[in-house]
Amino acid sequence: MALLEISDLSVRFHTDDGPVHAVDRVSFALEEREVLAVVGESGCGKSVTAMSIMRLVAPPGRVAAGEIRFKGRDLAKLSEREMREVRGDDIAMVFQEPMTSLNPVFRIGDQVAEAIRIHRKVSKKEARKRAGEMLELVAIPDPIKRLDDYPHQLSGGMRQRVMIAMALSCDPELLIADEPTTALDVTIQAQIMELLASLQQRLGLAILLITHDLGVVAEFCERVIVMYTGRIVEESPVRDLFANPAHPYTRGLLKSLPSVSTQQSARLPTIKGMVPPITNLPPGCKFNPRCPDVMEICLGKEPARMIVGPGHDARCYLHGEQADPERG
Per-residue model confidence as pLDDT tens digits over 210-246? 998 898 999 999 999 999 999 999 999 999 999 999 9
Which of 168, 153, 161, 150 shows the shortest CA–CA distance to 111?
Answer: 150
> Quick check: pTM over 0.75?
yes
* pLDDT of 86 over the 50 cut: yes
Tally of CB atoms within 10 A around 262: 11
- Which pLDDT score, from 0 to 100, does residue 231 have? 97
Going from the C-alpha of 149 to that of each of 109, 121, 159, 169, 192, the distances in angstroms are: 8, 25, 11, 18, 20
Which of 38, 34, 42 shows the shortest CA–CA distance to 9?
Answer: 38
**174-209 pLDDT, tens per residue?**
999 999 888 788 888 899 999 999 999 999 999 999
pLDDT: is 41 or 97 the higher one?
41
Q: Would you call 238 helix, strand, or coil by DSSP?
A: helix
Name every residue whose Cβ is closer than 8 Å to that of residue 313 and which is 6 or more positions away in sequence.
234, 235, 236, 246, 305, 306, 307, 324, 327
- Which pLDDT score, from 0 to 100, does residue 17 have? 77
Q: Is the peptide bond before 60 cis (omega within 30 degrees of 0)?
A: yes
Q: How many angstroms separate the CA atoms of 6 and 52, rounded?
A: 10
- Which pLDDT score, from 0 to 100, does residue 111 have? 95
**Which percentage of the chain shows pLDDT scores above 70?**
95
Q: How many angstroms separate the CA atoms of 288 and 221, rounded?
A: 29
